[in-house]
Amino acid sequence: MVEKIPFGDFAKLDMRVGEIKKVEDHPNADKLLVLTVDLGEGDERTIVAGLKGFYSAEDLVGKKTIFVANLEPVSLRGVESNGMILAGVSEDKSVVKILEIDNSMEVGTRIS
């Protein structure tokens, strides 16, 4: 079991419904995809995710899923990532599934 955290730590996460608008292969990494995402803020964000091998670009474009929106930007193999997509990962890491949201949820909806 992982360490328990106080509710206040969880409450710091800004999780939102986002829509994947564009997907490209990462230019410097075999397992990463570069996602262009609409989180309802007016500007789209770039988020780098280790989904290659589990999803194709065609599988992801247009999907609504949950993103952590308030992570500090990080450079992943030379591409700045401004958030994180949430996914379930099997214990042996052979299966990765993004958390999909039905289309009735508006982009930008906060998850709590």
Using the structure block, give the residue that is written with the tokens 């591409």: 79
Q: Is residue 111 part of a domain?
A: no
pLDDT digits (tens, 9 = 90+) for 2-19: 899 999 999 999 999 999
For 32, the domain range is 7-106
Q: Is residue 1 part of a domain?
A: no
Kindly report the CATH number assigned to the domain that includes residue 101: 2.40.50.140
pLDDT computed for residue 32 by the predictor: 96
Q: Is residue 59 part of a domain?
A: yes
Domain count across the chain: 1
pLDDT digits (tens, 9 = 90+) for 33-47: 999 999 999 999 999
The three-class DSSP label of residue 26 is: coil
**Both tokens assigned to 5:** 């955290």
Q: d(Cα 91, Cα 12) in Å, to the nearest integer?
A: 27
Q: Is residue 56 part of a domain?
A: yes
Largest CA distance in the chain: 39
